[in-house]
């Protein structure tokens, strides 16, 4: 999987919506084996533990910019006197000199959720400093706030693995090292911060199995307004050309038993239909072998400008998660043929209910 390896940092401003209950009932169990219901993975189970590298961030709800150093997410089983169980795991994220650790519980063979309250994700989550700075000689310079170590106090975390790619969606308020809500006067947004981590796999125990589970889902069907961010990489005259484009559109989510259909329209970044299988209370994996229309970021050699034309893209990995109200749809795609041959893209939709 190469879709994210060369992508720049993605940054979108979007406040979080308050969580709500309700949704659909997906009552189909896994293929003839009730022991594989969500959350009951046995020792040596099928959850794809291992190290996921080439991690990239998408941050919403604030103005934080992530460090660009190489990062790795490692999923390890929690072991006790009776052995190790992959249904309980430690997630360790390392980027440069920063390491953050928290625990997750498997809800299926391809999804996991936060195992308990009071957990945090350490990193440069706050902007501090800035303002007017007195210079030697009497001059004054205006300095920008700098990223500062703080903790994302996790109120929600959902991990989905699809085709060897880990998608980790997190929400919560930011707390600085003194235990205060950010830096004065540059505190975090009152609505909290939403952070999406997407990591390509470097060593994993499988790719994640998209099988329906017996659960009452928090997915709420209906129409959603979405903001999108699409980052693409395409080769041009032996060079890699990067583009990051924001957009907006409308998503219609419908349910058919344990399956979901997401129809997205009105956005130059992406349009089309994706089918998902509900794998846990808050996550769904895509049905394999799908395509979707994406924007072409290739350069037209006759004009030296971006083509910006729709192109069919093979969906190589995707994840759909919800906090009970908002939807987070992320998919990686690759095009073939024409000006957009071998373009790799990462597209993220952050959606809230209409009305």
CATH code reported for the domain at 215-353: 2.40.160
Below-50 pLDDT ranges, the chain: 1-44, 61-67, 188-190, 214
Cross-strand bridge partners of residue 232 = 243, 345
- Beta-carbon contacts of 102 under 8 Å, excluding residues fewer than 6 positions away, are 90, 91, 114, 119, 120, 121, 154, 157
Every domain of the chain and the residues it spans:
10-21+38-204, 215-353
DSSP of 274-306: EEEEE-SSSEEEEPSS-EEEEE---EETTTTEE
Q: Which pLDDT tens digit goes with each residue over 313-354?
A: 999 999 999 999 999 999 999 998 767 878 898 999 999 999
CA distance 200 to 344: 13
Q: Which pLDDT tens digit goes with each residue over 110-152?
A: 999 999 889 998 877 766 666 666 777 777 777 666 667 788 8
Q: Which pLDDT tens digit goes with each residue over 185-200?
A: 555 444 578 888 999 8
- For the entire predicted model, the pTM comes to 0.79
- Beta-carbon contacts of 122 under 8 Å, excluding residues fewer than 6 positions away, are 98, 99, 100, 149, 150, 151, 152
């Amino acid at each position: 999987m190469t879709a994210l390896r060369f992508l720049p940092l993605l940054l979108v401003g979007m406040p979080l919506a308050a969580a709500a209950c309700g949704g659909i009932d997906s009552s189909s169990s896994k293929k003839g084996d009730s022991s594989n219901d969500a959350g009951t993975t046995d020792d040596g189970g099928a959850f794809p533990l291992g190290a996921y590298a080439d991690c990239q961030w998408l941050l919403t709800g604030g103005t934080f910019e992530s460090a660009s150093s190489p990062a790795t997410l490692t999923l390890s089983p929690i072991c006790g006197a009776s052995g190790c169980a992959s249904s309980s795991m430690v997630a360790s994220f390392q980027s440069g000199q920063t390491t953050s650790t928290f625990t997750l519980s498997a809800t299926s063979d391809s999804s996991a959720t936060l195992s308990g309250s009071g957990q945090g994700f350490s990193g440069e989550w706050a902007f501090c400093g800035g303002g007017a700075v007195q210079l030697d000689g009497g001059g004054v310079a205006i300095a920008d706030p700098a990223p500062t170590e703080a903790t994302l106090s996790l109120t929600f975390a959902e991990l989905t693995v699809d085709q060897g790619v880990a998608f980790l969606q997190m929400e919560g308020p930011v707390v600085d090292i003194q235990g205060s809500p950010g830096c004065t006067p540059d505190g975090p947004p009152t609505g909290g911060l939403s952070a999406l981590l997407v990591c390509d796999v470097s060593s994993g125990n499988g790719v994640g199995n998209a099988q329906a589970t017996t659960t009452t889902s928090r997915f709420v069907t209906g129409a959603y307004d979405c903001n999108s961010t699409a980052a693409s990489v395409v080769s041009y005259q032996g060079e890699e050309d990067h583009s990051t484009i924001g957009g907006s559109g409308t998503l219609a989510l419908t349910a058919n038993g344990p399956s979901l259909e997401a129809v997205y329209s009105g956005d130059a970044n992406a349009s089309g239909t994706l089918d998902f299988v509900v794998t846990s209370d808050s996550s769904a994996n895509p049905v394999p072998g799908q395509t979707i229309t994406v924007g072409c970021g290739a350069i037209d050699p006759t004009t030296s400008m971006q083509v910006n034309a729709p192109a069919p893209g093979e969906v190589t990995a995707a994840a759909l998660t919800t906090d009970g109200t908002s939807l987070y749809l992320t998919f990686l795609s690759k095009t073939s043929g024409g000006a957009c041959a071998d373009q790799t893209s990462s597209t993220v939709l952050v959606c809230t209910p209409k009305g």
